[in-house]
Chains A and B, each alone.
Chain A
Amino acid sequence: MKLLEIKNLYVTIDTLDGPLQIIKGVDFSIEKGERLGIVGESGCGKSITSLAIMALLPDKSKVKGQILLNGEEINLFNKEQMCRIRGDKIGMIFQEPMTALNPVKTIGDQIAESLILHRNMKKRQIIHEVEQLLESVDLPVERFGLNLYPHQLSGGQRQRVMIAMAIACKPDILIADEPTTALDVTVQQQILELIKELAIKFGMSLIMISHDLGVIAQTTQKVMIMYAGQVMEQGETSQVFKHMSHPYTQGLFAAIPKPGSSRLEGKKRLSTIPGSVPDPKSTVQGCIFAPRCSFSDDICRKSPPEQSDIAPGHNVRCFHPVMED
């Protein structure tokens, strides 16, 4: 049995301008100990997907489809049942360590919170456990006491505290939503290593959400590329990154400045994807990427493509997947 399985997920959020469909049929699954990456630009629905799993969506949203954790349909759980899942079975690391921590509570209190909620432990045990957790995220207790406040820590250290909070109950799944965007490269590297190490050490599955393709390449085994609420390409990370077939994936890769591509040496401009992300209000009849795609033709504008396999464990939602020469 799969640890987590998402089947045909649709998320609609009611706004003043009427309902907006943010997620349009997302399917994926994750096995125990597996590391999955979700890539996409802002507004593509990658964070909403993770919030749907955690049942943390805004009140006015509707979820269709199934979210199965160990075979249990957690999207049908009530608030109380969900509280038992959050933090215990699924842990989450949020994007901005500056705002995700409570500024008026000590880091010790914040890390202990989920232990107090989910584990029937004595005070002394909890303190011991929190100290262990700080130790495991490389914040030695001698220097980083439990009674420190978030403002006394640097960005990287706060993100470490966030990680300690997320893994406090050794969840089955750890969701990391852009865990390093606000950090320096050197700190980013340390945090990524740490997350990956901990996931392996505790046998946790990892869902890594990022717009940075390098981050995904270095931390995950499977990857899915999302665009406007749909999965465009999905498969093993090494396979997808080497044989990317969706025009959108290719466009994304081409837009990053490559090492060694100085402007002085020939290359004058970065290649871009023309146009911009579609307005979620608009409805597209055919392929959602067609208006920006250089390969699009009549069939793309008429009916939406389905996800289809182009290699074992590698599927693409495109009528004209780009194959190798």
Chain B
Amino acid sequence: MSLVKVKNIVKDYNLPRKNLFGKPPVFRALDGINLEIKEGESFGIVGESGCGKSTLARIIMALEQPTSGKVYYNNIDLFSASKLKLRQLRKEFQMVFQDPYSSLNPRKKILSIVGEPLDMLEKSISKKKYKKRVELILEEVGLSYRDIDKYPHEFSGGQRQRIAIARALITKPSLIVADEAVSALDVSVQAQVLNLMMDLQEKYNLAFMFISHDLSVVEFVTQRLAVIYLGKIVETGTTSQIFKKALHPYTQLLFSAIPDVDPDIKTDFKKAETKKIDSLFSPTHSGCVFIDRCPLAADICQTKAPVLQGDIDHQYACHHVDRLLQNTN
């Protein structure tokens, strides 16, 4: 069953106006995003910085209103729900942020950092219960119940990220949005935190929205993923399908950029610099968003925006699918 349904989300930001009486130019951060996250599933979002990954996360977390489109959470429309209802719903989705050094308040003790969601969302809880809940959840993420009186600076980066995960888990959510949650960690610590997240996922049937630019992590963790480029999904489907046979030229470009750990395999990277992308963010832009970096760009890409096509396990937005399919077969 689907937990979160994102329907046709568009998000425009107004840029500073160029002249006093003109309309401000519009920057389209997300352009018609559709996706669905099922219960207990981990869903990956891949893309470069500025592609709209974090904007999408903020909208799903109801931290920001989309310009148009809807987000359904268990079939409840987040943005037409009453304030009270929305507050109750917030228990269900929590977020883990990228930098464990700046996402924890250095002046607060772990007890009040991890318990903070309870202050907001379960105000009636007794002090004793509150403490018990925090202690239990700390044990759950591999820390000690004795840690409640410590301050964040007493912990290493990996432990801090565990604290952040504990804070997200304390309201017993069914979805956790992890925005680059392991990018700031060392490989061996990253592996520990990833293992923890996957264990918790199985235990509580959690759904994860896993935003990352590290493709090998995404491949390992997620079941399905969406590749976003300049606010549009260019390829989506099951992780194994996409990693086996990436069809969109952008996904291929991303894959080719991963430095291989075997020194004998030289990374075969196609140099592709973005030239002038400002116009591509404009809502009036028609045509493919990837056009100026695409090796396959043709006339049709200038005039007509490709739509997602293919079967449910693997969809791609490109006019040259036939050619791509031939090349990979």
Which of A's residues lie within 8 Å of B, judged by CB? 41-42, 138, 154-155, 184-190, 192-193, 211-215, 217-218, 237-238, 241-242, 251-253, 255-265, 267-273, 276-277
Contact across chains for B157 and A214 when beta carbons are under 8 A apart: no
Contact across chains for B271 and A218 when beta carbons are under 8 A apart: no
Cα A241 to Cα B267 in complex, Å, equals 16
Which residues of A lie under 8 Å from residue B260 when comparing CB positions? 214, 217-218
Given contacts A186-B253, A252-B188, contact A257 B217 (CB under 8 A): yes
Q: B52 an interface residue at 8 Å Cβ cutoff? A: no
Residues 40-71 of B, flagged 1 when their CB comes within 8 A of A and 0 if not, give: 00000000111000000000000000000000
The listed residue (A215, A261, A272) touching B195 by CB distance below 8 A is A272
Contact across chains for A42 and B157 when beta carbons are under 8 A apart: yes
Residues 135-151 of B, flagged 1 when their CB comes within 8 A of A and 0 if not, give: 00000000000000000
Q: Can you list 29 A-B pairs with a CB-CB distance of less than 8 A? A: A184-B213, A185-B213, A185-B257, A185-B258, A188-B259, A190-B269, A190-B271, A193-B269, A214-B258, A217-B260, A218-B259, A218-B260, A218-B263, A218-B266, A237-B263, A251-B188, A252-B187, A255-B187, A255-B190, A259-B219, A259-B258, A262-B240, A263-B198, A264-B239, A268-B198, A269-B198, A270-B191, A272-B192, A272-B195
Return the 6 tightest CB-CB contacts between A and B, nearest first.
A214-B259, A257-B220, A41-B186, A255-B191, A270-B191, A184-B48
Q: B223 an interface residue at 8 Å Cβ cutoff? A: yes
Cα A185 to Cα B47 in complex, Å, equals 9
Cα A264 to Cα B215 in complex, Å, equals 16
A143 CB to nearest B CB, Å: 10
Q: B254 an interface residue at 8 Å Cβ cutoff? A: yes
Given contacts A211-B187, A218-B266, contact A265 B219 (CB under 8 A): no
B:236-288 near A, CB below 8 Å: 239-240, 243, 253-254, 257-264, 266-267, 269, 271-273
Cα A211 to Cα B184 in complex, Å, equals 11
Contact across chains for B261 and A214 when beta carbons are under 8 A apart: yes
Cα A154 to Cα B51 in complex, Å, equals 13
A239 CB to nearest B CB, Å: 9
Cα A85 to Cα B215 in complex, Å, equals 40
Q: B156 an interface residue at 8 Å Cβ cutoff? A: yes
Cα A1 to Cα B120 in complex, Å, equals 67
The residue of chain B having its C-beta at the shortest distance from the C-beta of A180 within the complex is: B259
Contact across chains for A186 and B254 when beta carbons are under 8 A apart: yes
Q: B74 an interface residue at 8 Å Cβ cutoff? A: no
Interface residues on B, range: 35 or more
A177 CB to nearest B CB, Å: 15
Q: B115 an interface residue at 8 Å Cβ cutoff? A: no
Contact across chains for A262 and B219 when beta carbons are under 8 A apart: yes
Contact across chains for A241 and B240 when beta carbons are under 8 A apart: no
Which residues of A lie under 8 Å from residue B262 when comparing CB positions? 217, 241-242
Which residues of B lie under 8 Å from residue A264 when comparing CB positions? 223, 239-240
Residues 193-233 of B, flagged 1 when their CB comes within 8 A of A and 0 if not, give: 01100100000000000000111110111010000000000
Cα A138 to Cα B271 in complex, Å, equals 12
Contact across chains for B261 and A257 when beta carbons are under 8 A apart: no
Main secondary structure of the interface of A (DSSP, over half): loop
Q: B152 an interface residue at 8 Å Cβ cutoff? A: no
The residue of chain A having its C-beta at the shortest distance from the C-beta of B156 within the complex is: A276
Cα A42 to Cα B186 in complex, Å, equals 7
Residues 152-184 of B, flagged 1 when their CB comes within 8 A of A and 0 if not, give: 000011100000000000000000000000000
Contact across chains for A217 and B48 when beta carbons are under 8 A apart: no
Which residues of B lie under 8 Å from residue A154 when comparing CB positions? 50
Which residues of A lie under 8 Å from residue B156 when comparing CB positions? 276-277
Cα A271 to Cα B250 in complex, Å, equals 31
Which residues of A lie under 8 Å from residue B198 when comparing CB positions? 263, 268-269
The residue of chain B having its C-beta at the shortest distance from the C-beta of A215 within the complex is: B259
B294 CB to nearest A CB, Å: 13
Q: B321 an interface residue at 8 Å Cβ cutoff? A: no
The listed residue (B188, B221, B258) touching A272 by CB distance below 8 A is B188
Q: B76 an interface residue at 8 Å Cβ cutoff? A: no
Contact across chains for A255 and B220 when beta carbons are under 8 A apart: no
Cα A214 to Cα B220 in complex, Å, equals 17
B135 CB to nearest A CB, Å: 22
Given contacts A218-B267, A258-B216, A261-B219, contact A188 B191 (CB under 8 A): no
Which residues of B lie under 8 Å from residue A189 when comparing CB positions? 257, 259, 267, 269
Which residues of B lie under 8 Å from residue A42 when comparing CB positions? 157, 186
Cα A252 to Cα B190 in complex, Å, equals 11
A194 CB to nearest B CB, Å: 10
Which residues of B lie under 8 Å from residue A251 when comparing CB positions? 188
